[in-house]
């Protein structure tokens, strides 16, 4: 399936390819500067969601604020998973060495990849995510490192969501670090700096 995207070839093919996934209303290029802060020599694959909500791009539909269209979420997660398989062949990167960086809606679809496919991501940086779906048995995520950045005063994503997501991922074997901020739902520079330090320690060390 086709998804609008950009690919920037990195200078070190041994490093993970960074899959960057925007928030609601974003584009495939929005988080590239963030990815460059996290790992400046990595390949970067920026993807735009295929769902249009009142002119804003999203990765899956929602029924209301904070209420996901689960059927569409599952379909779009499969779509992104298959797109990654195709992109790895097109751009000749190691499909088994992909780390997602997502913000808000993009973090939710990255989390859904982890919830549905054990082999989809080597790791993930999730900025202000929610639990993609509940009452689902997760695949074996043993050894998969995940960084969650959350806001204690986030009006769109209650702290309990981040704590629940951490527990669910850890219950499936993932290694999760939860980082707290006090900037609401905003993506702050301090959490990106923390994510970069985590990446260096947990992904490439």
Query: Catalytic site residues?
Result: 104, 154, 185
What H or E segment, with its residue span, contains residue 147? strand 145-151
Look at residues 15, 163, 183 and name the one whose alpha carbon lies nearest to residue 97. Answer: 15
* DSSP 3-state of 178: strand
Assess contact for 123 and 150: CB atoms under 8 A: no
DSSP codes, 60-123: S-EEETTEE-HHHHHHHHHHHHHHHHHHHHHHT--TTSEEEEEETHHHHHHHHHHHH-TTS-SE
Give me the sign of the Cα torsion angle 178, 183, 189, 190. negative
Taking the alpha carbons at both ends of the chain, their separation in whole angstroms is: 34
- As beta bridge partners, residue 124 has 100, 146
Residue 101 CA to residue 78 CA, distance in Å, equals: 18
Tokens of 99: 């780390």
């Amino acid at each position: 399936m086709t998804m609008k995207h950009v690919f920037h070839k990195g200078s070190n093919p041994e490093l993970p390819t960074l899959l960057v996934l925007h928030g609601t209303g974003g584009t495939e290029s929005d988080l590239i500067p963030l990815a460059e802060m996290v790992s400046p020599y990595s390949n970067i694959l920026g993807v735009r969601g295929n769902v249009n909500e009142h002119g804003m791009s999203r990765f899956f539909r929602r029924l209301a604020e904070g209420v996901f269209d689960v059927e569409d979420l599952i379909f779009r997660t499969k779509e992104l998973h298959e797109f990654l398989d195709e992109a790895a062949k097109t751009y000749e990167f190691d499909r088994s060495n992909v780390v997602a960086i997502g913000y808000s809606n993009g973090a939710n679809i990255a989390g859904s990849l982890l919830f549905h496919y054990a082999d989809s991501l080597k790791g993930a940086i999730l900025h202000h995510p929610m639990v993609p779906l509940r009452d689902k048995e997760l695949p074996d995520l043993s050894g998969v490192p995940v960084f969650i950045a959350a806001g204690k005063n986030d009006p769109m994503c209650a702290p309990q969501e981040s704590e629940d997501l951490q527990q669910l991922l850890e219950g499936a074997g993932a290694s999760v670090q939860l980082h707290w901020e006090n900037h609401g739902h905003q993506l702050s520079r301090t959490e990106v700096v923390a994510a970069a330090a985590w990446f260096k320690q947990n992904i490439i060390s």
